[in-house]
Structure 1
């Protein structure tokens, strides 16, 4: 039995795998050609191809190379499916139709094709009939359905599964894009800082600053009126010509220049810690810019909608624990911005030198001769204040917080701007250890006052000087000292008078009523005549910083204090108890809505000594007699009485007529206050007109 043999089929010339690879290479080449044609770098043939595709697909022609690349990859990896290929064609066509229907419906679509716009002829072929037959909305629904069908054919999956996968893909894309946004668009970091700690450290109590190299000593001649004391190689701050002492220029080389940059730590890591910690408590935030200051680094953030600021400020201790930094201060919100600031202490504080600020552009643009240097803010920007606009200043802080250094900085910044003829200083230091270093400079109106009785006399003299200046302004028809000086020659101008008190608490303990009354009256009235007060105390209690003093001195500086109560006594708000000391301060005045955090400028004893010696060589002081002949008795209300009171004769007549002497009697008859009536009784007793008071018994009339 014969066997039937099958005829063997010859093997194919090209294997299926090779055919798929050839098709893939062809499609990739075609896609590359279309892509180069789109960018105009494929020669004349490319220009023709791009023109054809422009009419075929319109503005969707860049998508064709991408679709061909996807198809090539599909051919090279798996066995092609007819449904997927048809779905791809349908997807491109329905997309072109949707674009054409939305952008150029109706007759406008025909003109758009001629200009290469819309979805080209493919889009016009689908969109125009649907628009004419079904209208725009029904046509939109039909094309959207075709688009969904094409996606189902391409992925060979139910539509619900595709939508679920698409939702997950969109979420993954969102997270990935957010990561790249954080990676490539990092927040800006303002200010100068060091990545690694340096060895230099700033001390406020022990002045261990090395002596600078001597460059050129200022030569002061005997005749200071004609001697030019300028040093050409060193920048200086010039002042106007003087009446008696001539021109005095304080060289900036008397001050130290070398400072140190702060070390803020790992900024990116701390940003992530802050964001993660807040998220653990259910608070979503977007981190913003970072400002590196001398003392702290401020990290800004924007809370999500619906987040209460109180929820962020309540997490202060949790953030301090996570950052391993204490204490931190939260500013919510930052004035002028819709952001919250978290101030984290630097690993090492940067030194702020007075000379740096005197050389800064901000200082050179000052408009007032009584600008005072305070320091730098959290972004490293120099911060100054105009004393006439303040017009008085209250400084408080615990021992070693930088209070006295701040006073020295203020005094030196005033000396660098004004001559002795433009500025006079009255320095009061009951502690006898800090301000006496300025003895002998020509700006002083008296030696540094260290005695309480002398202080009371000096404050009384200041009130008399204020009244004398008011009379001068009234006679000349001037509104204030500035307008008076502008309308008079140099030799007739009034100098500004700045009264600096280093320790107010000692004065309040020894003579509270007289000191408080003098301060209140000066604070209320002395601004117009160019008299300004700068008061400092290390005991911010209510018996030292009284309500009347606070009401009249709105500009205040708070250094580090021990408790929240002390902070509220100074600033009427919290914050000073979280300061770091060594010049870290909060400054507030009538123009600031919230306290401003600053790092005070540092000045060493050697720098003060050099400036004082320079000024002593330039001229000698002309001290005034501050003894008030008409012993003024000040009251907290600011009133005064005179030994030669004009009402004393009338008071004698009233007492003789009534046959008794009492303060209430003089108040009713003379229509004066109790303080003045009691003072008149004391004066009459001193004259021997009446006897001393004996409790409830009436005074004896001694006069015949």
Structure 2
């Protein structure tokens, strides 16, 4: 018998009687466990023994114990979770404005009172109104064209809305957003709400130390809480220490064109080629200027509002500028979109609807651009504004020209290389000459909007597109695939660091027809017959200097009856590249036919035609 064990048992019994120890059994088991496993091993064995005893007594399995521990652990770690309340919406009876007075709500959607339009020109202008609402302009200097601006009475007027029910929804949405952030451990509050015609932007101010990526990652959760699938998060809002959460309105307000042209932004703009586009997400009217862009690319899927946007652009020019100051060159391969404008005094020529003849119209524009630069050099000026100021007294002003192409894809299918070259040259050089491009397409693929075209047209408008790839093609970033359609757009001019979301203005076909009919009754339409002859008869303006061998090459192919590059190489003793350029030039002039594979090209003129020229 171990005397140490006996001594321990006696000592344990005495400690037990004094309520200070574990008794005889405790001393007995403690001695053997300590001798066998040491101090650490003893604690481990005792812990397992206690666990097994509890399982036997409670009839629980290890799996059930782990499952309950898993449910209890989050409540222990996140002590604030017990304060989370289920997200609910206030009913009409529960609604109280006083509870949300700290949130500033800005609503610009109410239609502004019409302001008399003023035509910004160099001359002093006086306004008079007729009984029928027509606005006339009297100038100290009489213009060559007695142009009258269409009256406002032929345009649809906006309706005044009652926004009480909308305000309740807006406050509820703000509370839901804050509670959603709180449930995910993000401390943030809605500080400002901007109510727009189709989108309401909630400015969320996060607490210091909150990563923006955490808020952006909750887009789907916010969408679920608000029961709205089209949530867009802008993090951060440019110029503000806040995150913008854009939520579509349940009832969208239509932005009418009349609201834009009666706004202070449109009236006070100094440019004579303004763009009245629509209202931003806060409901403010946005009016830009083409000469500041200076060229614009518009893209969007079918039915997204692209054609309506082009109509508003044309109408904003008609209501601001006289035909002496601005001329339009409209190219519409779809035939039915822009043909309604035939007969208005702003047109240089009738709307070009043939895709093949569109190339000749653009070629004329390039030639006109070069002609203007030679005129500027002769008068020692740098741009159209300086030239018009210099010759103002001589009554020799030249108008600005806005070239609008409604469907670029159709033109690229007919003559891709020529169209791309003309657009590139105009985009690179035409701004100072007072010529501006607006190009639209519903197929924003890389074979239509080529890299060269994108590089030279810095300002973009994107309507709703079908995929993120299309959005990147237009804007070089995603976002357009989340737009709502029906005029919802992203406006990205070259001067902006980020695109701005707008609700485009709507103008009906009936309003367009009324305006065009009013202008046609003035009988001021004077088309340029020289340009019409160039476009109709497929005559090309020589953009570059003609090859000195071109006349000899023309006589050669007429005498031979066929044309080919190899023929010119042999007879004229020139290289392949020069012979190919001469053949291309003759094709553009309508002298020889198109490429027919291995067959030589057909000669389309006779010797008599050469003698006549």
Structure 2 length-normalised TM: 0.70
The Cα shift of 1:457 comes to 1.1
Name the CA shift for 1:694/1:549 in 2 (closer, same or farther; >3 Å): closer
Contact 1:237 1:417 in 2 (8 A): no
Q: Secondary structure at the match of 1:497?
A: strand
User: CA deviation digits over 1:627-647, x for unaligned, max 9?
Assistant: 44895499xxxxx556x5235
**2:349 corresponds to which of 446, 449, 463:** 446
Contact 1:372 1:387 in 2 (8 A): yes
Residue 254 of structure 1 aligns with which residue? 154
Contact 2:309 2:505 in 1 (8 A): yes
Query: 1:240-251 to 2 correspondence within 5 Å?
Result: 243-251=143-151
**1:569 corresponds to which of 473, 482, 492:** 473
Name whichever of 384-393 and 481-490 sits farther off. 481-490
Query: 1:550-565 to 2 correspondence within 5 Å?
Result: 550-565=454-469
Query: 1:471-620 to 2 correspondence within 5 Å?
Result: 471-489=374-392, 491-620=395-524
Residue 164 of structure 1 aligns with which residue? none
Residue 130 of structure 1 aligns with which residue? none
Q: Secondary structure at the match of 1:592?
A: coil
Name the CA shift for 1:693/1:403 in 2 (closer, same or farther; >3 Å): closer
Q: Partners of 1:459 and 1:467 in 2: how far apart?
A: 13
The Cα shift of 1:688 comes to 12
Name whichever of 595-604 and 618-627 sits farther off. 618-627
Q: Partners of 1:687 and 1:380 in 2: how far apart?
A: 53
Q: Secondary structure at the match of 1:618?
A: coil
Residue 223 of structure 1 aligns with which residue? none
The Cα shift of 1:661 comes to 7.5
Residue 231 of structure 1 aligns with which residue? 130
Q: Partners of 1:235 and 1:614 in 2: how far apart?
A: 10
Contact 2:364 2:541 in 1 (8 A): no
The Cα shift of 1:590 comes to 1.3
User: CA deviation digits over 1:581-610, x for unaligned, max 9?
Assistant: 111110001111101000111101111111
Q: Secondary structure at the match of 1:528?
A: coil
Name the CA shift for 1:633/1:310 in 2 (closer, same or farther; >3 Å): farther
**1:434 corresponds to which of 326, 337, 353:** 337
Residue 459 of structure 1 aligns with which residue? 362
Structure 1 length-normalised TM: 0.61
Name the CA shift for 1:193/1:540 in 2 (closer, same or farther; >3 Å): same
User: CA deviation digits over 1:326-363, x for unaligned, max 9?
Assistant: 21111111111111000000001111111111111122
The Cα shift of 1:515 comes to 1.1
Q: Partners of 1:616 and 1:279 in 2: how far apart?
A: 62
Q: Partners of 2:280 and 2:476 in 1: how far apart?
A: 21
Q: Partners of 2:153 and 2:596 in 1: how far apart?
A: 64
Task: Output the aligned Cα RMSD.
Answer: 3.4
Contact 1:294 1:352 in 2 (8 A): yes
Q: Partners of 1:663 and 1:270 in 2: how far apart?
A: 77
Name the CA shift for 1:313/1:437 in 2 (closer, same or farther; >3 Å): same
The Cα shift of 1:683 comes to 6.3
Q: Secondary structure at the match of 1:529?
A: coil
The Cα shift of 1:259 comes to 3.7
Residue 324 of structure 2 aligns with which residue? 421
Aligned length: 466
Q: Is residue 189 from structure 1 mapped to residue 105 from structure 2 by the alignment?
A: yes
Name whichever of 292-301 and 495-504 sits farther off. 495-504
Contact 1:193 1:264 in 2 (8 A): no
Q: Partners of 2:231 and 2:454 in 1: how far apart?
A: 28
Q: Is residue 402 from structure 1 mapped to residue 305 from structure 2 by the alignment?
A: yes
Q: Partners of 1:320 and 1:509 in 2: how far apart?
A: 42
Q: Partners of 2:490 and 2:469 in 1: how far apart?
A: 15
Name the CA shift for 1:238/1:395 in 2 (closer, same or farther; >3 Å): farther
Name the CA shift for 1:428/1:648 in 2 (closer, same or farther; >3 Å): closer
Q: Partners of 2:436 and 2:170 in 1: how far apart?
A: 43
Contact 1:480 1:528 in 2 (8 A): yes
Q: Is residue 353 from structure 1 mapped to residue 269 from structure 2 by the alignment?
A: no
User: CA deviation digits over 1:215-260, x for unaligned, max 9?
Assistant: xxxxxxxxxxxxx995257374748565433142322222111246
